[in-house]
Amino acid sequence: MRNFLLLTDLTSLLATIALLIFLECFANMPREVVAIFFFQESHT
């Protein structure tokens, strides 16, 4: 049981790191790219 909890903690930690990296990349994108991305997302 303890190993399972450790595993879920590790998974959530990795997910958090991935999210931070994604946000960092997203923030560095040009505004046009972001706008196009959202435009496509809203139309599908």
pLDDT tens figures, 3-43: 777 788 889 999 999 999 988 887 787 888 878 888 888 86
Residue given tokens 């879920």 in the structure block: 8
Is residue 1 predicted with pLDDT exceeding 70?
no
Q: What is the pLDDT of residue 14?
A: 93
pTM beyond 0.75: the answer is no
Q: What is the pLDDT of residue 34?
A: 77
- Look up residue 43 and give its amino acid: H
Structural tokens at position 2: 């303890």
Q: What is the pLDDT of residue 43?
A: 67
